[in-house]
Amino acid sequence: MDTILQAFALVFDFKVLGVMLASALFGLFVGSIPGLTATMAAALLIPFTFFMDPVPAIAAIVTTVAMAIFAGDIPGALLRIPGTPASAAYCDEAYAMTRKGKAETALGISLVCSAIGGIFGSLILAMTAPALAEFAIKFSSFEYFWLACLGLSCAVVVSSGSTLKSFVSLLLGLFIATIGIDITAGHPRFTFGSVEMMGGISFIPAMIGMFAISEVMRFIASPENQQAAPQQATKHVFRGLGGILSKYKLNVARGGFIGAVVGILPGAGSDIAAWIAFAMSKRFSKEPEKFGTGHPEGLVDAGTANNAGLAGAWIPALVFGIPGDSITAIVIGVLYMKGMNPGPTVFMNQPELIQAVFIVFFLANLALLPLGFLAIRLSRNILRVPRHVLIPIILMFCVVGAFAINNTVFGISVMLFMGVLAYIMESNGFPVAPTILGIVLGSMLESNFMSSMIKADGEFSGFFSRPIAATLGVIVILIWVIPLVRLIINQLRKPRLA
């Protein structure tokens, strides 16, 4: 009880609440601008978190992202341009409602379902993370090695697009993670005599580049992102919502559950949760023929799922140090910077900070209702902000964030290089998330592999010598083998079909 009271005292501080309010407005603004994403909003916050204590720093990111994910629905419903990728799944459906004169209903469903989904995901986070942490305290290097393999494998399997391209993207991330001094033997690797590169590639400048700079490049290169402001009325967004939510209450529960579960999978995140929830909604709907004509059912499922996925992604990040999505990859960097090293020990050593994170999640999602309503009312003005004003401000935040990590120009160089690399990758269908996971988990994978090999005297059987490690190892190997077996079976069947 003392821990919870301490956590409440940490959160309900004027400074923290002020940071949350400012972050909420920032998140709503960024999310409402087509082409800018919630991940970019989190990346742009990094330079500000340098000057904050752990709780306001985490509160800023949680609040910004929760707001930005919802705000992405506003241009999706009014202009048919999703503000963030998490809104893309149901953008057409929401816009179809707008064309039928139901923009207020579409935005109201998105707002209320986002808040419900966020609170549902927060409940799952608060209930499961401490229990998992107690279990994870028994883990050794063998279990962490397999967990890192599981995270990397899931990132490839669940990533959108080609599995082969996701695998290539992952290998690129693992290669970048090897740059610097060998953690076991102490030899420099791929440093080319550069003193800065001996310290490795810091993943915060890399993430700012891959998420923010690449999006700025896409934003500039896509003229369709600059659209006329909408003319739809947005005053009565809550009218008639009671009946809709009552009719689709099971969809709300299903969307929240899917969002939380998919969010836990490393590399999945809110985007994939929304797509899966929308597909499930159509598959099990009693009126599937209405989908695509402005039917609210899919919005209820997917709108709930994408915000529930946010909290779900924090479970592996806090308990194991494995990011559930690109946003929690940034969060892990901030946690290390603030001395809250992710893993089961943070639940024992700093329980008040963990409880404060849970409270922040609930508070941010409750604040979504009034602030989201305000954003809907102001949407016409937000969508009128000219691009030539926005881009220089974003670039300035990126440069400051990359420079402030080590106070060197090398961080800016890393940011720019990774930004161009990410832009080229995504332009050619290579997802960026597996690369980020490779950079974040590469050192964890290598250090736990080397520690395990030393403990096992070089015997690979040591990786299956403990029950939990053996179970995780079998799961990982099945994830690797099953797609290959399916591929071979399909290849063998082809001549017969021909």
Residues 139-166: tens digit of each pLDDT: 788 888 888 888 788 767 656 567 788 8
Question: What distance in Å separates the CA atoms of residue 158 and residue 260, rounded to the nearest whole number?
Answer: 15
Q: What is the mean pLDDT of residues 323-336?
A: 78
With a cut of 70, say whether residue 242 has pLDDT above it: yes
At residue 34, the pLDDT reads 65
Question: What distance in Å separates the CA atoms of residue 75 and residue 107, rounded to the nearest whole number?
Answer: 10
With a cut of 60, say whether residue 225 has pLDDT above it: no
Question: What distance in Å separates the CA atoms of residue 165 and residue 369, rounded to the nearest whole number?
Answer: 39
At residue 164, the pLDDT reads 83
The total number of residues shown for the chain amounts to 498
- If one counts every other C-beta atom within 10 angstroms of the C-beta of residue 336, the result is 14
Residue predicted with more confidence, 445 or 384: 445
At residue 420, the pLDDT reads 92
With a cut of 70, say whether residue 267 has pLDDT above it: no
At residue 82, the pLDDT reads 65
Structure tokens, 96: 């179809």
Instruction: Please give the mean pLDDT across all residues of the chain.
Output: 81
With a cut of 60, say whether residue 497 has pLDDT above it: no
At residue 230, the pLDDT reads 53
With a cut of 60, say whether residue 226 has pLDDT above it: no
Question: What distance in Å separates the CA atoms of residue 94 and residue 109, rounded to the nearest whole number?
Answer: 10
Q: What residue segments make up the domains of the chain, in order of their start?
A: 1-492
At residue 349, the pLDDT reads 81
The pLDDT-based confidence of 258 (bands split at 50, 70, 90) is: confident
Q: What is the mean pLDDT of residues 379-393?
A: 70
Q: What is the mean pLDDT of residues 222-246?
A: 68
Q: What is the pLDDT of residues 406-441, one digit of tens each?
A: 778 888 888 899 989 988 988 888 888 788 778 877
Q: What is the pLDDT of residues 342-377, one digit of tens each?
A: 777 778 888 888 888 889 989 998 998 888 888 888
Q: What is the pLDDT of residues 181-216, one digit of tens each?
A: 887 777 888 888 888 888 888 777 887 788 778 877
At residue 376, the pLDDT reads 83
At residue 35, the pLDDT reads 60
Q: How deeply is 331 buried, as exposed, middle or buried, from its count of CB atoms within 10 A (0-12, 13-18, 19+)? A: buried
With a cut of 60, say whether residue 498 has pLDDT above it: no
Residue predicted with more confidence, 81 or 221: 221
Q: Could you tell me whether strands 188-189 and 180-181 are parallel, antiparallel, or unpaired per DSSP bridges?
A: antiparallel
Residue predicted with more confidence, 313 or 389: 313
Question: What distance in Å separates the CA atoms of residue 211 and residue 40, rounded to the nearest whole number?
Answer: 6
At residue 84, the pLDDT reads 66
At residue 490, the pLDDT reads 80
Reduced 3-state DSSP string for the chain: CHHHHHHHHHHCCHHHHHHHHHHHHHHHHHHHCCCCCHHHHHHHHHHHHCCCCHHHHHHHHHHHHHHHHHHCHHHHHHHCCCCCHHHHHHHHHHHHHHHCCCHHHHHHHHHHHHHHHHHHHHHHHHHHHHHHHHHHCCCCHHHHHHHHHHHHHHHHHCCCCCHHHHHHHHHHHHHHHHCEECCCCCCEECCCCCHHHHCCCCHHHHHHHHHHHHHHHHHHHCHHHCCCCCCCCCCCCCCCHHHHHHHCHHHHHHHHHHHHHHHHCCCCHHHHHHHHHHHHHHHCCCCHHHCCCCCHHHHHHHHHHHHHHHHHHHHHHHHHCCCCCHHHHHHHHHHHHCCCCCCHHHHHHCHHHHHHHHHHHHHHHHHHHHHHHHHHHCHHHHCCCCHHHHHHHHHHHHHHHHHHCCCCHHHHHHHHHHHHHHHHHHHCCCCCHHHHHHHHHHHHHHHHHHHHHHHCCCCHHHHHCCHHHHHHHHHHHHHHHHHHHHHHHHHHHHHHHC
Least Cα distance to 223 among 454, 387, 85 occurs for 387
At residue 172, the pLDDT reads 92
Least Cα distance to 212 among 223, 201, 204, 224 occurs for 204
Question: What distance in Å separates the CA atoms of residue 379 and residue 446, rounded to the nearest whole number?
Answer: 48
Unique residue bearing structure tokens 């994170």: 357
At residue 421, the pLDDT reads 92
With a cut of 60, say whether residue 228 has pLDDT above it: no
The pLDDT-based confidence of 175 (bands split at 50, 70, 90) is: very high
With a cut of 80, say whether residue 68 has pLDDT above it: yes
At residue 339, the pLDDT reads 77
For 290-294, the CB contacts below 8 A with 24+ separation are: 291/93, 292/92, 292/93, 292/96, 293/96, 294/93, 294/96, 294/97, 294/98, 294/99, 294/100, 294/102, 294/106
Question: What distance in Å separates the CA atoms of residue 200 and residue 195, rounded to the nearest whole number?
Answer: 10
With a cut of 60, say whether residue 461 has pLDDT above it: yes
Are 375 and 32 in contact by the 8 Å Cβ rule? The answer is yes
